[in-house]
């Protein structure tokens, strides 16, 4: 993970209403890498797919078929400089809606981007 991040990487976490994390900001390559690994929740039952999130590069994290996180990124000089992680269940509702065939929707409009989270000391 560290190899993908700019040395000054920042992660904004919007986790309002989530039991999985605390909203806030994580700064620095080491802290950002650790936090993103926790957001991505690698392991059995977890799928991470590349998707456009609000028109920018992003990842959608599903745990046992349910979207548990949406991450968008800003890249500088080939490395992730800033990432925004939306873990708020209320904001992930559109990502978890079911279409008429019973399939989970493939996209949504999670509010990510500058100012997506406020406060400091995010714990993810």
Cα separation of 45 and 50, whole Å? 17
Q: Where are the domains of the chain?
A: 2-96
Which CATH code fits 2-96?
A: 3.10.450.50
**CA-based nearest residue to 95, from 53, 124, 57, 55:** 53
Write the pLDDT tens digit of every residue in 82-121: 999 999 999 999 998 854 444 455 555 444 433 333 333 4
pLDDT, greater one: 54 or 73: 73
The CA distances from residue 104 to 87, 94, 95, 97, 101, in Å, are 17, 10, 8, 6, 9
What residues form DSSP beta bridges with 58? 51, 72
Q: What is the pLDDT of residue 55?
A: 87
Strands 24-27 and 66-76, bridge-based pairing: unpaired
Average confidence (pLDDT) over 49-63: 90
Task: Please tell me whether residue 109 adopts helix, strand or coil conformation.
Answer: coil
Q: Please give the model's pTM, rounded to 2 decimal places.
A: 0.76
> For the CA atoms of 17, 74, 65, 91, what is the dihedral angle to 10 degrees?
30
Is the pLDDT reported for residue 124 higher than 50? no
């Amino acid at each position: 993970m560290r190899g993908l991040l700019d040395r000054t990487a920042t992660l904004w976490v919007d986790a309002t209403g989530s039991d999985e994390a605390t909203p806030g900001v994580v700064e620095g390559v080491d802290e950002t890498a650790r936090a993103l690994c926790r957001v991505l929740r690698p392991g059995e039952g977890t799928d991470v797919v590349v998707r456009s999130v609000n028109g920018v590069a992003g990842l959608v994290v599903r745990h046992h078929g349910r979207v548990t996180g949406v991450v968008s990124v800003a890249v500088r000089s080939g490395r992730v400089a800033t990432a925004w992680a939306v873990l708020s269940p209320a904001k992930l509702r559109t990502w978890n809606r079911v279409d008429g065939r019973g399939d989970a929707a493939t996209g949504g409009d999670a509010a990510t981007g500058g100012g997506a989270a406020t406060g400091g000391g995010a714990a993810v």
